[in-house]
Structure 1
Amino acid sequence: MATAPKLVAQRTFYKRPLPPSCIAFTSKEGKRLFAKALAEDNLESYFLLAPQMILNSFEVDPQRKWKGGWRWYDQDMLDCCRPLTAVETDGLTLPEFACLARCNGLRATVTSPLLDSSGSAAQRAEGIAKFRDDLRAVSKGRGTMALSYSRKTLGQTGDGHFSPVGAFCEEDDMVLILDVARFKYPSYWIPVELAYDSMLPIDKATGQPRGYVVLEVAGAEPGSLNAPLSLTSVTLNKSSWASLHSSLSRLLLSTSKSTPDVSSLLLTLLSHLSALPTSPLSARPTASSALPPLLDSFSLTPLASLVPFASSPDPNSTLLHTLFILALLSPRSQLSALVPSPLLSSLQTLADQSLEHLPQLREEVDSATRQLGALGECCRSEESNGAACGCAGPPGQQDPIARVE
């Protein structure tokens, strides 16, 4: 009689048991805490986040298509700050997480539980008090919060991880973590002080503690269904932007004073951008039919008449570079301070005249300006913590959140 073959051992997993430090959201005790938080009016974050990811919960219009005609965020759109392939392999740091939020129209306020050399109890108490205040604010509907924390501190497997906060039960001093890796751990309640302590372990990628980000819609109104589709995107990441910013700074310092007019300034910058291996501003795949007509209209403007796009082997690329220069030298850009005021004023006047009847292209310039600002802020944040932008650690040593441990 034949015997059944032995089952081959499989290295696969379905969920992990929650450690004693965590109270399952669906348990009797978890439901009791939920009812208390509801009575305290501390569940606004939960109702905001339960149906979807943070960007979609804020009703931020991604200004690009997801599937069919629908505009909706998914993880494949989060390509600012670092390439998606790198994120999938190495994860994100806290500054990079904030950068992604800012690139997509949110205001991001980062708080790290920095300790002094003595690690004093007074400083810890002060940090926890601020953490409670921020938890109370977001749980009552003033933005939402995402934690960057160490799973090890909670007694879970793995280490660095991001998850949003769903609720705050003040009476029991408990916080609800909506774990984004539901295949591994469900949502759970933990003590506020334990949540704070889980942010203290050093992130190997930055050499600093982790922390939390409070996210809010940057404008007064959320995204509108009438908002235009974004046709272009900045292809830089924080490292390549830092390199380009440095080379452009040197170029402007060496040539601005000897540059007689706007045309000369544009030609100098266009030559520099054209020599890059990849265009810093490119058309989205979904914009293949919509962008060229707009660029044709742009080619007839006073500003475009100053650049040799017609003789270029790729006229549309030259026009996109021109739009990118407007983002580079916007009033919010550090680079604009390196251009003599009369020259900068003339460029701005020409830009206003040229884009007055092309609101879609003005939106593209504003979007590129916002992305460059987010990249720069990410770099400054890392450098202020002693890490060179783009060099926070060799490949494979950054905090793994995409490949959740």
Structure 2
Amino acid sequence: MKMAMAGLYKRVLPSPPAVDFASSDGKQLFIEAIQNGTMEGFYKLISYFQTQSEPAYCGLASLSMVLNALAIDPGRKWKGPWRWFDESMLDCCEPLEKVKEKGISFGKLVCLAHCAGAKVQAFRTNQSSLDDFRKFVVRCSTSDDCHIISSYHRATFKQTGTGHFSPIGGYHAGRDMALILDVARFKYPPHWVPLRLLWEAMESVDEATRQCRGFLLISRPHRDPGLLYTLSCKHESWVKVAKYLMDDVPNLVKTDDVKDVHKVLSVVFSSLPSHFGEFIKWIAEVRRREDGGQNLSLEENGRLSLKVL
């Protein structure tokens, strides 16, 4: 006879207020939402749905899931030759060890989304309204070009735990319910919740920051191609370069009796760390050598065209 191991195997989803996605009622909500056209964002998200790899990685898992769903190229390798967003790569705004221990704040997740190359609109509940939130949910549920990550407190839904991040996968207009694709899949399955109750869960104050929670509207950026080079904090050397710029440069400027711009530039560029060259990552020719010239992005093709002109 197999003995049960110590630990926890899932939690029973409190219902109500939530409705299990896989239940009869949950399936009916799904079908009706599809028929009403408010599940368009679901398909891309479900294609990249993942489980957070650490108990405190809900924000990182939610963000990497959304970034992959939006087909944003991280510009750096994940494993082997593959470029792919993974929780382990979202470290430019907060050390992973710190996130693993304490989780991540709303503001730092916004920073990470920007750092990863996404277009981000962040709204705390004291800066928005339920009606505005509903409009954004409808917008992202009727298209696949934007997604919403909600920051909320689980206790509002009678769930165990405290603050949590998860993407919103769809909306049922008739019953005013949102589908939460909970990235803690080892704990709770995807579930429908009343939108008004989700708003209340986001209105709670994060004890660590003393600020209201809220939601992130994330989409692909629309940028014109650069004429020269683009520096990206998504490259592996960003952390070291940031340390140089924030810690080393101020000390160098102080010790070298800098009095004018020329002296500042001389000090900065003569003291560049050896790995600084690696930081200049977004050069189309570099990508072309790496990929054989077959998979240039629209941005890179635009940059090449401008260079030829």
Specify the TM-score bucket, using the shorter chain as the normaliser: 0.7 to 0.9
Choose the corresponding residue for 1:167, options 151, 164, 170.
170
CA spacing shift, 1:233–1:10, aligned 2, 3 Å = same
User: Deviations along 1:99-135, whole A, 9 cap, x unmatched?
Assistant: 11111110111111118xxxxxxxxxx7111111111
Equivalent residue number for residue 93 of structure 1: 105
Larger Rg: 1
| Runs of at least 5 residues in structure 1 that lack an aligned partner in the other structure | 116-125, 222-228, 271-306, 325-354, 362-405
CA distance in 1, matches of 2:17, 2:206: 22
Equivalent in the alignment of 1:213: 216
Helix, strand or coil for the counterpart of 1:114? helix
For the residues of structure 2 that align with 1:232 and 1:75, how far apart are their CA atoms?
A: 14
Task: Please report how far the alpha carbon of residue 245 of structure 1 lies from its aligned counterpart in structure 2 after TM superposition.
Answer: 7.9
CA distance in structure 2 between the aligned counterparts of 1:199 and 1:246, rounded to whole angstroms:
40
Residue in 2 aligned with 1:43?
39
Contact 1:110/1:212 (<8 A) preserved: yes
- The answer to whether residue 135 in structure 2 is matched with residue 136 in structure 1 is no
Report what 1:266 is aligned to: 265
Which residue number corresponds to residue 158 of structure 1?
161
**TM superposition outliers: structure 1 runs of 4+ over 4 Å:** 229-232, 245-252, 357-361
Question: Quick one: which of 176, 186, 190 aligns to 1:187?
Answer: 190
CA contact (8 A) 1:49 1:166 kept: yes
Aligned residue for 1:235? Answer: 239
1:41-92 per-residue CA deviation (whole Å, 9 max, x = no partner) reads 1112211100111111111112222222222121111111011111111111
Are residue 14 (structure 1) and residue 9 (structure 2) matched?
Answer: yes
* Alpha carbons 1:83, 1:237 under 8 Å: kept: no
Q: Residue in 1 aligned with 2:129?
A: 127
Whether 2:188 is the aligned partner of 1:196: answer no
What is the distance in 1 between the residues matched to 2:40 and 2:169? 8
**1:150–1:246 Cα change, 3 Å:** farther
Cα distance in 1 for residues equivalent to 2:195 and 2:271: 61
Q: Give 1:249 deviation, angstroms.
A: 11
Distance, in Å, in 2 between the alignment partners of 1:178 and 1:61 is: 23
* AA partner of residue 133 (structure 1): K
Indicate whether 1:59 and 2:62 are aligned.
no
The alignment covers a number of residue pairs equal to: 261
1:95 counterpart SS class: helix
Measured at CA, do residues 251 and 153 of structure 1 come closer, stay the same or move farther in structure 2, by a change above 3 Å? farther
Q: What RMSD, in angstroms, separates the aligned Cα atoms of the two structures?
A: 3.7
Letter in 1 for 2:171: F
User: Does the Cα contact within 8 Å between 2:252 and 2:267 map onto a contact in 1?
Assistant: no
Match of 1:399 in 2: none
SS at match of 1:13: coil
State the distance in 1 between where 2:161 and 2:22 align. 23
CA pair 358-16 structure 1, distance change in 2 beyond 3 A: closer
* Local SS of the residue matching 2:47: coil
Give the TM-score taking structure 1 as reference length: 0.57
- The CA distance in 2 between the partners of 1:98 and 1:42, in whole Å, is 25
Q: Answer yes or no: is the 8 Å Cα contact 1:164–1:177 preserved in 2.
A: yes
- 3-state SS of 1:14 partner: coil
% same residue: 33
